[in-house]
Amino acid sequence: MTQAEAAVAVRDTAAARPAIEVAGLVKTYGRDVRALDGLSFAAEPGKVFGLLGPNGAGKSTTVKILTTLSIPDSGTARVAGFDVLAEASEVRRAIGVVAQRTAVDQMATGIENLAMMARIHGLRGRELRTRVDEQVERFGLGEKAKLTPYNYSGGQRRRLDLAMGLVHRPRVLFLDEPTTGLDPEARIGLWDEIRTLTREDGLTVLLTTHYLEEADLLANQLAIVDRGRVVASGTPAELKGELRGDAVHIGLDSAEAAVRAAAQLADEDVWDVQAEDAVVHLRTADGARALPRLLSTVDGVVSATVNRPSLDDVYLRHTGRAFRRGNAEGEAS
């Protein structure tokens, strides 16, 4: 084998390895809070891997471990081929991080923010200036880059955040709730940027989000996390394909009425019947056709909806609870 052939073989072997490998991660806080409970998953290189779950599921704890900001109690994790404990310095050089809370210095211009991040990653002189100019152009900051972020829109500040996370050309990018607080137009613009990064640069993105639409549209692979464990994984289409028929959600006037209704509705024409709070969730082959019959069976109905299979339904099936974005559980961090 020639030297060139050997180099190609090495690259092909590296590309075949997962960009992120997590096996059996456990992390506890104090005596009672078990943030991770044997978490395992693998993310392919050059793809968007989504960690989906409400606040409290363990997403932020996972990101802290993978970015070397926290140490697990047990289990292993590798990022870009490096062990997060034994090779933490190599991991830090290989990753970019865009956290939910902005890293932008509001008193510095966009260019100064980019230069600061480049220096943190060891860039100097001409290379630093080239990288900064590349990011300004790529993320459409233009003349705004000469101003402080006080003069930016929310979407522009988030693009600056993303540019800062990529100025050193990392192999893996961690995006933690990247579109929280953005208006719909800014969210769509940021989604387009993320798609371009994976398609053109071969960047691996680990996306943590509690927006179901975001996960469905962006992620090539998904892991649904609940109480520190992966309860389901696959492509969005595969996960939704597990479900047969339509989802029907019937709101009742009390939680007790929902329990009674769930018992009444459990017949051969419906399945996955669950009562949660004052709502009955179920599935049936043709929701629109079945709905009048279902509503005539129970008393105290205040609302009813019919939906095609969604990630919300997948989450409900695997956890027994509807997906909520609120911080009811309060994830330890």
- Strands ordered across the beta sheet of 95-98: 95-98, 172-176, 204-209, 48-52, 221-226, 229-234
What percent of the chain shows pLDDT beyond 70? 92
The pLDDT assigned to 243 comes to 82
- How far is 38 from 6, CA to CA, in rounded Å? 37
Q: Give me 204's structure tokens.
A: 């691996």
Residue 231 lies in a domain: yes
Residue 212: which H helix or E strand, with range? helix 212-218
Are β-strands 95-98 and 172-176 bridged in parallel, bridged antiparallel, or unpaired?
A: parallel
Check: pTM over 0.85? Answer yes or no.
Answer: no
Q: Which residues pair with 304 in a beta bridge?
A: 250
- How far is 315 from 21, CA to CA, in rounded Å? 23
Q: Give me 210's structure tokens.
A: 């509690």
Is residue 6 predicted with pLDDT exceeding 50?
no
Q: Among residues 140, 150, 144, 221, which one has the least CA distance to residue 186?
A: 140
Q: Give me 69's structure tokens.
A: 């900001």
Contact 251, 298 (CB under 8 A): no
Residue 331 lies in a domain: no
Q: Give me 186's structure tokens.
A: 């800014």
In Å, the largest CA–CA distance within the chain is 78
Q: Which of 235, 253, 281 is the last residue of a domain?
A: 235
Is residue 34 predicted with pLDDT exceeding 70?
yes
Domain tally for the chain?
2
Backbone phi and psi for residue 9, each to the nearest 5 degrees, phi listed first? -60, -40
Rounded to the nearest integer, the mean pLDDT of the chain is 88
Residue 322 lies in a domain: no
Contact 55, 326 (CB under 8 A): yes
**Poorest-pLDDT segment among 139-153, 163-177, 256-270:** 256-270
The pLDDT assigned to 46 comes to 95
The pLDDT assigned to 209 comes to 83
DSSP state at residue 242: T
Contact 275, 258 (CB under 8 A): yes
The pLDDT assigned to 310 comes to 86
What is the radius of gyration, based on Cα positions, of the chain? 23
Question: Is residue 207 domain-shared with residue 257, that is, in the same domain?
Answer: no
Residue 320 lies in a domain: no
Question: Is residue 283 domain-shared with residue 254, that is, in the same domain?
Answer: yes
Residue 77: which H helix or E strand, with range? strand 74-79
Question: Is residue 221 domain-shared with residue 292, that is, in the same domain?
Answer: no
pLDDT confidence bin for 325, thresholds 50/70/90: low
Outline where DSSP puts E strands in 204-257.
204-209, 221-226, 229-234, 246-252
Is residue 255 predicted with pLDDT exceeding 90?
yes
Backbone phi and psi for residue 66, each to the nearest 5 degrees, phi listed first? -70, -25
Range of the domain at 210: 19-235
Residue 148 three-state SS: coil
CATH number, position 160: 3.40.50.300
**Poorest-pLDDT segment among 1-10, 193-202, 213-222:** 1-10
